[in-house]
Structure 1
Amino acid sequence: MNKIYGCLLLLVIVGCGKKEYKDKIYVKPEIVREAPSDFLSPEESLEKFYLPEGYKIELVASEPMVNEPVAIAWDGNGKMYVAQMDTYMQNVDAIGEDEPISQIKLLVDLDGDGKMDKSTVFIDSLLLPRMILPLDDRLIVNETYSYDLWSYRDTDNDGVADEKIRVYENPKRRGGNLEHQQSGLVWNLDNWVYTTYNPLRFRFNKDGVQVDSLVDGSSGQWGLTQDDLGNMYYSSAGGETAAYGFQVPPIYGEVDLEGQISEGFMEPWPVVGTPDVQGGAELRLKPDGTLNKFTGVAGQEIFRGDKLPPSTYGDLFIPEPVGRLVRRAKVKNENGKKVLYNAYDEAEFLASTDLNFRPVQAQTGPDGNLYIVDMYRGIIQEGNWTREGSHLRPVILRKGLDKNIGRGRIYRIVHEDIKPAGKPNLLNKSAAELADYLGHPNGWYRNTAQKLIILKGDMGVVPKLKEIAKNNESFWTEYFGSKDYPRERVHALWTLEGLGVVDKSLILEKLNDKDYRVRITAIRLSEEFLKKEDRDIMQALAKLQNDTDINVVNQLVLSLRYAKSSEGSDLLTSISEKYKDNEMVMASVELGLKAKDSDLQQLKHKLANKSNGHKWRALDGYDIYKQTCVTCHGPDLTGVPNGENSLIAPSLMGSPRVTGDKEVLVKILLNGLTGPIDGKEYGIMLPMGSNDDEWIGQVATYIRSMNNTTMVHENEVRDIRAKNPDRKSYWTLKELMN
């Protein structure tokens, strides 16, 4: 591995006399415009990397143990699942790409040295698997062109899945080309699982799977990551956007501010010429032959491990497979606005001169280090961009990149002065034992412990979680081995939420916590009380408009969208006046107005002459609709276009199922709907019957109110539900109309 060092760029001193880490970056070598494209052995490829002083790259696994890897994830005991796209671009014309012969491998480190020793085919015969999420002893998997989620389990401990259960079904095939498919499947801090390119989010617990929709849907391409407060970072190779959507948690919508990407950030600094770039040399290359702008950004990761120098914690690592590099971005909070900066001056954290180095994902590992998934291949672009007449095709054929297939490497980045942690052992621990990991300095442990506690559903751990949440121990450091008390309190609160315990008295206490992160968490958890017009909560929140931390004020603005009382509106007005010069706060105000006002005013106009009971049911139904139905049926109830000259779901405006017999609409809400509607196929309308009669009545009342017809009382829902108490299957229109 090359280590040619230059000027000092970063100096980090970790408190109390701990180790001082000086971060020196390499001096870039002379660029070789036409580097050879020959395959290198893993050992040879390791010598082609450039890293800052003190950092080392180690091989974790390589071919034939893995082939064409695109995503990795660990279970609670440190076993690594590897999703492989075994048919991806095996030739320049992408022939055979849709054959269902891809695999997910299970890799095991038997001796704890960080290198994988055993590989088994955990799942075979898949169509380009894209998303993997380990739960407990189950693995959730999604394949390309499908919305379905499947649960796989190895019941006899031979490393091969022998149980397969579909946990979410949507029979509609996802359109678009291979690059424009969903990815992610990230268990967020808020206990919802998010993806890209999908307007839905999912919630797993001991009772099964819940499905919810996002107000603004979801964007992004390959890769999804989160920070300590659940802000998600998206990227788009097609849009040549290294990162976006990270200012606020995704449930509130998308905020992207001018200047959130610092000047010059989008210019990469490869160490090798980049002949194979979409757009061609004239548009996309510098005079030295290297890439002049990020283009293939993919698989980004907020590093939350504890076994690299502390200055790396919270940094965003962005793989760029076209440029053969990994960018390290500093995320700076500037008066509430997050701004990304390159950590180095005209250099990258990791770069290679091996033309087959194709980093497609970065991940924080259980050992506290940073992992890099290298698809290690010639062609990285999808077949639509390698056709006859493209800029890429002549370069691919000239360099023989189409012949470089069927390999792959997984690396980890370590520091020479810090020993990686050993393998985790969490799967067999009790909920009470897992609670002890909620303050672990490695974010992987904190998130995994939270997830496993929720999946166990053991309510006996609630008193311990409340005790942790109340612990206001203020001393914490970021040096290794310390417990981070504020983050522990944050995770304890969200774990309680995941178990269905949102304690009003605890929330009121935590609104005054010493740490701003805990106060932000308490504000988010208070939203359930805001919806119920709880005056105690509102009075406590009002005091936070003068909080010393602008991030707390901004979260208050985001959460106030759920306040229905005049006090909430008055508070928002007061904040708007006080912080009118703060870009982030005002953007959040506008986001809330966008979510509430235009169609809400239309609803209020339609309700002007209705009874009070009708009004409040419709207004509550409006909130439900915006959280559950809007992504498919649209904010105006007319359906959302899917880009294929059709709609994701049928229009609810003027629909005879809405304006006619109430029983038809209620039955559809209770049990869902499948089959053709007015001669068109839309896929499945999901059943909502797990919600109570009041909930069903409210959303039905909102939909019918928008169509200028009568309300639906919860007693009517009760009577309709009682007619088919044991029905589990979807309705069809033929059944409903008979």
Structure 2
Amino acid sequence: MKNWLLSYSLLAAGAICIISCQPNTSEKKDKHQTDSLAMREKFAESPVLDAKASLEHIQVEEGFKVQLVAAEPQVSVPVAMTFDEKGRMWVLEMMGYMPDTSGTGEDMRNGKVVILEDTNKDGVVDSRKEFMDSLVLPRAICLIENGVLIAEPPKLWYVENNGDHAGKKILVDDKYTEGGNVEHQPNGLLRAMDNWIYNAKSDKRYRKAGNKWLIEHTHFRGQWGITQDNYGRLFYNNNSENLLGDYFSPGLGANNTAQRTVAGFDEHIVPDNRVYPIRPTPGVNRGYMKGVLDDSLRLVNFTAACGPLVYRGGLFGEAYDGNAFVAEPSANLIKRNLLQDSGYIVTGKQAYAGHEFLASTDERFRPVSLYTGPDGAMYILDMYRGIIQHKTYLTPYLKNEIKSRNLTQPLNCGRIYRVIPAKANNVQPVTLPDDPAKLLELLDHPNGWVRDRAQQMIIDHHYTTLVPQLRARLQQDTIKQPWGLLHAMWTLEGLGQLQVEDVAAVLKNKNPYLRVQALAAMPAVITPQQVNRVLQLITPLQQSVLQAPSVAMLLPYIQRLNAAAAGQLQTQLLHAYANDRYVADALIGNNAGHEQQLLEQVSSWNADTTLLIHKRLQKVLKDIDNKRKAKLNEGLVKAYPRGAKIFKTVCQTCHGDDGNGIQSLAPPLNESQWVKGDKHKVAAIVLFGLSGPVNVNGKVYKAPEVSGEMPGIGSNDEFSDSDIAEVISFIRNAWSNKAEPLTAQDIQKVRQQYKGREKGFTAEELK
């Protein structure tokens, strides 16, 4: 289970990583008890602080300062925002999120889109306009042309902007979210460098083409929040993992829906999930479990990671360019990570050992989303509230924590902060004029937000008069600061003016990373007239290990126009890179619906079944068979309607609609011995939860490959014993599973057996 905004991620405070326990000596136990009691006494109360007082509780890295930009009543419960070219903030207010521990009133239409502005340029918001109201739990926003994309589950709307007032509403996607609770639904709406709009917790991308909206399949990514680096690569996370991301451009490698994972996407960028709060954090969902909190009641590992930001503002200094910041609202902090390219692989590590970039001693400081602003500052959305865990997974332990420190109230607070260098004075946003020549200049601006927005405005206003200058920009060979050239290429693509010779010019660039990006733009120029020229350009590049994966990912586009040439190039790549996971997966991606034929081709060339491509093909073929079986469950939906609905809402978002698990989230339910085995054991898992590691059919699943724990739903008043029996019965007979159904009496029996238990089970306990 994972998701975005703290709500989502924040919300996700329930799926935490499990670490090794410390030696259980009496001395250690006594010290733990002493420290814990002292901390509980010291922080027994959690006062509600006004914005200025809460600001004083924030500690930030030396050399920086935190400034208050907006607070209630100007803003309430902010969860997502974006800036316009005037430097104004368009903010989503999720007023309906968890009014109490039962979620009473979550369906009220009290969400809003507001426009916040600093009219006197003193760094503090002094103007608030309500653009739109009466929304139910809005979660994502994006500006495009003269309108606003707004995600209001389950729908995605495009709302025309009539002088800062909501105009005509156009339905873009009536299934923007399918199933899942508020903690597990798509979000993000990141308008990326390649001119597509990407999401977290989703495998869809969107693009406006005239009056039509294009919706395409892409890689499934993350949980709450999504960001891009200077090369347009996407980064994200889930609630228990610091940072995940892509090695390659986002538009490539997602041609075969049968591939559950594609190498180079959804990779573990920063595997270190340790956090360092500066105050006790007992108010996390599994705080009663060993290893979740340390002796001073501080969270040990991420449990609500969300709102990642690759900083591109140019204001912090060279050491901070390209750093990835991640919010952890459960621990009241923001982490800094250092990223580095090694070939096409991106690696990362935490910037500090033992402390954080920013942290607060105010328990209600809940950073959920981070942004680079038009002034180069880092902006922080603070929901400022006590309850951040959604009701679906709320444990009795956390309910008691909320009650003991009165964390339910208040519900109408919210703050926006910005972080700037300590010595910076009068930091002002860059405003973007509606002037083609000036927008062209801004494509080289040191602030990545400014470059992005300049590109978007040129495209939105259809400034095709700039095409000659944009083409000329591609001829400049700049190794150290290539960003303007890259934006020029994608601006041409967005205008529909990119030509094969434009891409060829970038392929000649001395910067190898720019050459890889040029390959990512190739799909826009692979036409019947130009396919042979494209082949002429890319075929020699297969000899480069750095560029071979991207070349292989172009095969599906060539296949449609010149199958013979694509087949020849595929054979060359196969013989050269059969044991390269990135090229192998790209070749499988080119054979959607023809995986068996590719396996036969591989076997006829080399009968060695240990070849990596052979093994990955076998896995895909098995997944295809499982998916076929998953479609045979219509009768089960009729037999267990309530169970099927709960599965879709609670279970599917982590275990997948085919029950085969989701990378970085959860292991499979399909053919799992835990699901098909002892009905009382599976009931115990669903009621109380299961913490990893766990062995499923011979494979051990543990963090960070999957979340360290599956929360139980037994304490959720929303589900009756009959409901829980139904969802277990549905799962035990779905896909390839076949096992005895359960009754409400079975659930009651297990509840009685473990009466008084709150914590989840370990696999060892259930043995």
Global fold match (TM > 0.5):
yes
Q: Aligned partner of 1:107: which letter?
A: L
1:382-531 to 2 correspondences below 5 Å: 382-386=390-394, 390-419=396-425, 421-426=427-432, 428-474=433-479, 476=480, 484=481, 486-528=482-524
Aligned-residue sequence identity (percent) comes to 29
Offset of residue 574 of structure 1: 5.0
Offset of residue 393 of structure 1: 0.6
Offset of residue 503 of structure 1: 1.1
Contact map agreement 1:328 1:342 (CA 8 A) in 2: yes
Offset of residue 420 of structure 1: 6.2
Q: More deviation in 184-193 or 433-442?
A: 433-442
User: 1:557-587 CA distances to partner (integer Å, 9 max, x unpaired)?
Assistant: 3334534355555555555666678xxxx23
Aligned partner (choices 81, 84, 87) of residue 72 of structure 1: 81
1:626-665 to 2 correspondences below 5 Å: 644=645
Aligned partner (choices 101, 104, 109) of residue 118 of structure 2: 109
* Equivalent residue number for residue 227 of structure 2: 225
Offset of residue 502 of structure 1: 2.3
Offset of residue 522 of structure 1: 1.7
* Equivalent residue number for residue 99 of structure 2: 90
Offset of residue 493 of structure 1: 0.6
* Equivalent residue number for residue 376 of structure 1: 384
Q: Aligned partner of 2:328: which letter?
A: E
Aligned partner (choices 201, 204, 210) of residue 214 of structure 2: 210
User: 1:254-274 CA distances to partner (integer Å, 9 max, x unpaired)?
Assistant: 4368994455x1111111111
* Equivalent residue number for residue 249 of structure 1: 249
Contact map agreement 2:182 2:390 (CA 8 A) in 1: yes
Quick one: distance in 1 between partners of 2:633 and 2:568? Answer: 34
1:534 matches 2:531 = yes
User: 1:223-254 CA distances to partner (integer Å, 9 max, x unpaired)?
Assistant: 111112222112222xx223224223333244
Change over 3 Å in CA distance of 1:587–1:83 after alignment to 2: same
Aligned partner (choices 557, 582, 591) of residue 588 of structure 1: 582
User: 1:412-438 CA distances to partner (integer Å, 9 max, x unpaired)?
Assistant: 010023456523332x51333312111
Offset of residue 123 of structure 1: 1.3
Change over 3 Å in CA distance of 1:260–1:514 after alignment to 2: same
Look up the SS of the partner of 1:91 in the other structure: coil
Quick one: distance in 1 between partners of 2:393 and 2:266? Answer: 30
Contact map agreement 1:76 1:136 (CA 8 A) in 2: no
Offset of residue 521 of structure 1: 2.2
Contact map agreement 2:578 2:584 (CA 8 A) in 1: no
Look up the SS of the partner of 1:180 in the other structure: coil
Change over 3 Å in CA distance of 1:60–1:136 after alignment to 2: farther
Contact map agreement 2:206 2:216 (CA 8 A) in 1: yes
Quick one: distance in 1 between partners of 2:314 and 2:178? Answer: 39
Quick one: distance in 1 between partners of 2:353 and 2:360? Answer: 17
Aligned partner (choices 573, 586, 600) of residue 594 of structure 2: 600
1:71-470 to 2 correspondences below 5 Å: 71-143=80-152, 145-155=153-163, 159=164, 161-170=165-174, 174-214=178-218, 216=219, 218-237=220-239, 240-251=240-251, 252-253=253-254, 254-255=262-263, 260-262=268-270, 265-283=272-290, 284-386=292-394, 390-419=396-425, 421-426=427-432, 428-470=433-475
* Equivalent residue number for residue 544 of structure 1: 541
Look up the SS of the partner of 1:282 in the other structure: coil
Q: Aligned partner of 1:429: which letter?
A: D
Contact map agreement 1:206 1:454 (CA 8 A) in 2: no
Look up the SS of the partner of 1:417 in the other structure: coil
Change over 3 Å in CA distance of 1:290–1:134 after alignment to 2: same
Change over 3 Å in CA distance of 1:281–1:573 after alignment to 2: farther
Q: How many residues align?
A: 568
Change over 3 Å in CA distance of 1:636–1:153 after alignment to 2: farther
Q: Aligned partner of 2:83: which letter?
A: W
Q: Aligned partner of 2:250: which letter?
A: P
Contact map agreement 1:493 1:521 (CA 8 A) in 2: no
Quick one: distance in 2 between partners of 1:259 and 1:519? Answer: 22
Quick one: distance in 2 between partners of 1:294 and 1:171? Answer: 30
Look up the SS of the partner of 1:402 in the other structure: coil
Quick one: distance in 2 between partners of 1:207 and 1:173? Answer: 23
Offset of residue 529 of structure 1: 5.1
Q: Aligned partner of 1:424: which letter?
A: V
Quick one: distance in 1 between partners of 2:235 and 2:267? Answer: 16
Contact map agreement 1:370 1:413 (CA 8 A) in 2: yes
Contact map agreement 2:245 2:266 (CA 8 A) in 1: no
Quick one: distance in 2 between partners of 1:508 and 1:171? Answer: 39
* Equivalent residue number for residue 665 of structure 1: none
1:559 matches 2:554 = yes
Look up the SS of the partner of 2:283 in the other structure: coil
Q: Aligned partner of 2:107: which letter?
A: D
Look up the SS of the partner of 1:367 in the other structure: coil
Contact map agreement 1:259 1:339 (CA 8 A) in 2: no
* Equivalent residue number for residue 718 of structure 1: none
Change over 3 Å in CA distance of 1:314–1:491 after alignment to 2: same
Q: Aligned partner of 1:46: which letter?
A: L
Quick one: distance in 1 between partners of 2:632 and 2:510? Answer: 46
Contact map agreement 1:336 1:554 (CA 8 A) in 2: no
User: 1:686-720 CA distances to partner (integer Å, 9 max, x unpaired)?
Assistant: xxxxxxxxxxxxxxxxxxxxxxxxxxxxxxxxxxx
Q: Aligned partner of 1:202: which letter?
A: Y
TM-score (norm 2): 0.68
Change over 3 Å in CA distance of 1:137–1:112 after alignment to 2: farther
Offset of residue 62 of structure 1: 0.6
Contact map agreement 2:548 2:583 (CA 8 A) in 1: no
Quick one: distance in 1 between partners of 2:527 and 2:84? Answer: 37
Offset of residue 171 of structure 1: 6.6
Quick one: distance in 2 between partners of 1:182 and 1:151? Answer: 19
Q: Aligned partner of 1:226: which letter?
A: Q
Contact map agreement 1:260 1:337 (CA 8 A) in 2: no
Q: Aligned partner of 2:123: which letter?
A: G
Structure 2 unmatched runs, 5+: 1-37, 255-261, 600-623, 638-643, 654-767
Change over 3 Å in CA distance of 1:173–1:260 after alignment to 2: closer
Contact map agreement 1:130 1:142 (CA 8 A) in 2: yes
Quick one: distance in 1 between partners of 2:309 and 2:464? Answer: 33
Quick one: distance in 2 between partners of 1:420 and 1:536? Answer: 52
User: 1:7-45 CA distances to partner (integer Å, 9 max, x unpaired)?
Assistant: xxxxxxxxxxxxxxxxxxxxxxxx955533111122221
Quick one: distance in 2 between partners of 1:459 and 1:397? Answer: 60
Change over 3 Å in CA distance of 1:635–1:112 after alignment to 2: farther
Contact map agreement 2:232 2:249 (CA 8 A) in 1: yes
Change over 3 Å in CA distance of 1:86–1:462 after alignment to 2: same
Change over 3 Å in CA distance of 1:348–1:249 after alignment to 2: same
Change over 3 Å in CA distance of 1:55–1:578 after alignment to 2: farther
User: 1:495-516 CA distances to partner (integer Å, 9 max, x unpaired)?
Assistant: 1111112212222222111222
Contact map agreement 1:558 1:588 (CA 8 A) in 2: no
Structure 1 unmatched runs, 5+: 1-30, 477-483, 606-630, 649-738
